[in-house]
């Protein structure tokens, strides 16, 4: 039998982790757990996820009507219910605003694949949903195209949503995605993002099946394994300036910092370069010397 109080405690614990990780500022984010075909436990609106108490957790039906709870249910419940309705195996949903993953959508960058083994196995392709203002059915509808094909989606200019068979699995997918996006950002700062080759990715997808995760849509549809984004290609050409790929030494040689040292070597080579000024100087010295010697004689 389901122990509702225990699930409420688990929701509070995951809320604390989301808040501690910086995935939800102020009252951002929401968490839901399906407890049977008709009922879902969810976080309340306008309460920080870092300080939830089991008593704060609400219960709603599959249309979002509040059944229990002394606080008002989350305003994003429709988004969560969309996933439960379309995928009966999914039991928990986590929505929050992890900064690194959200930054990708703000910058208009898709999440590249074929970079990190954990992402291939635990996430697969991470699509980005189109933008809609939060809270309405149109917003909830933005994730419908990805139900059954993904387990984690970036919400354009908003945040992320991930779902799973358990609450911790749903949360871990968010945590993996944000860590991944952070690594990509750091790697790109170092130069370019290099990818795993497709033959190795095929091996990872086989391992994914052996571990009991649902079939990867890329394998089932015989689709491209690697989402080839501009970010994934990295700075490998001059078209975007190649700022990070140009070795620092080139800047030293050709840039403005190279100019101050130039006069010094030029000055030391000037006398031996044979210009007219040194020749005149020698002639002048000889003339003066000759005149002095003539007077002394
Ligand atoms: Zn949100």
User: How far is the centre of ligand 1, averaged over its atoms, from the C-alpha of 78 (Å)?
Assistant: 12
Query: CA torsion 221→225→230→233, rounded to 10°?
Result: -160
User: How far is the centre of ligand 1, averaged over its atoms, from the C-alpha of 13 (Å)?
Assistant: 19
pTM summary value: 0.77
The pLDDT of 230-255, averaged and rounded, is 36
In this predicted structure, what is the pLDDT of residue 89? 86
Domain limits for position 138: 4-233
Is residue 174 domain-shared with residue 282, that is, in the same domain?
no
Is residue 115 domain-shared with residue 58, that is, in the same domain?
yes
User: How far is the centre of ligand 1, averaged over its atoms, from the C-alpha of 221 (Å)?
Assistant: 31
Q: What is the CATH number of the domain that holds 101?
A: 3.40.225.10
Phi-psi label, residue 174: left if phi above 0, alpha if psi -120 to 50, beta otherwise = alpha
Is residue 275 domain-shared with residue 168, that is, in the same domain?
no
Cβ(57)–Cβ(70) below 8 Å = no
State the pLDDT confidence band at 106, using cuts at 50, 70 and 90.
very high
Residue 251 and residue 254: Cα distance in Å, rounded? 5
pLDDT tens-digit readout, 129-143 = 999 999 899 999 999
State the pLDDT confidence band at 41, using cuts at 50, 70 and 90.
very high
Of the listed ranges 183-192, 205-214, 244-253, the one predicted with least confidence: 244-253
User: How far is the centre of ligand 1, averaged over its atoms, from the C-alpha of 134 (Å)?
Assistant: 7
Range of 91-100, 230-239, 254-263 with top mean pLDDT = 91-100
Of the residues 181, 216, 233, the one at which a domain ends: 233
Of residues 214 and 178, which shows the higher confidence score?
Answer: 178
- Sign of torsion over alpha carbons 241, 242, 248, 249: negative
Is residue 120 domain-shared with residue 220, that is, in the same domain?
yes
Q: Is the pLDDT of residue 283 over 90?
A: no
Residue 3 and residue 46: Cα distance in Å, rounded? 26
Is residue 175 domain-shared with residue 273, that is, in the same domain?
no
User: How far is the centre of ligand 1, averaged over its atoms, from the C-alpha of 215 (Å)?
Assistant: 29
- Domain count across the chain: 2
Is residue 134 domain-shared with residue 68, that is, in the same domain?
yes
Q: Which residues are catalytic?
A: 76
Is residue 271 domain-shared with residue 213, that is, in the same domain?
no
- Sign of torsion over alpha carbons 142, 91, 73, 104: negative
Residue 201 and residue 214: Cα distance in Å, rounded? 16
């Amino acid at each position: 039998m389901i122990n509702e109080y225990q699930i409420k405690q688990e929701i509070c614990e995951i809320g604390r982790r989301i808040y501690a990780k910086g995935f939800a500022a102020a009252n951002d984010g929401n968490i839901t757990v399906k407890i049977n075909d008709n009922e879902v436990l969810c976080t309340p609106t306008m309460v920080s996820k870092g300080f939830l108490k089991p008593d704060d957790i609400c219960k709603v039906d599959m249309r979002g009507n509040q059944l229990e709870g002394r606080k008002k249910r989350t305003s994003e419940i429709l988004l969560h219910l969309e996933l439960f309705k379309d995928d009966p195996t999914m039991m928990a949903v986590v929505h929050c605003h992890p900064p690194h993953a959200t930054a990708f959508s703000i910058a208009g960058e898709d999440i590249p694949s074929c970079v990190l083994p954990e992402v291939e196995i635990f996430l697969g392709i991470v699509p980005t949903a189109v933008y809609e203002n939060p809270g309405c059915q149109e917003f909830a509808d933005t994730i419908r195209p990805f139900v059954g094909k993904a387990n984690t989606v970036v919400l354009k200019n908003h945040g992320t949503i991930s779902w799973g068979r358990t609450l911790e699995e749903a949360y871990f997918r968010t945590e993996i995605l944000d860590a991944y996006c952070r690594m990509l950002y750091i790697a790109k700062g170092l130069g370019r993002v290099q990818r795993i080759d497709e033959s190795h990715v095929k091996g990872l997808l086989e391992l994914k099946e052996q571990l009991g995760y649902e079939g990867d849509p890329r394998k089932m549809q015989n689709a491209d394994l690697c989402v080839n984004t501009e970010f994934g290609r990295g700075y490998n050409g001059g078209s975007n300036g190649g700022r990070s790929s140009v070795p620092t030494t080139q800047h030293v040689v050709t840039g403005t910092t190279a100019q101050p040292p130039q006069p010094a070597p030029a000055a030391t080579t000037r006398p031996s370069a044979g210009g007219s000024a040194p020749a005149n100087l020698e002639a002048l010295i000889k003339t003066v010397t000759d005149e002095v010697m003539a007077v002394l004689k």
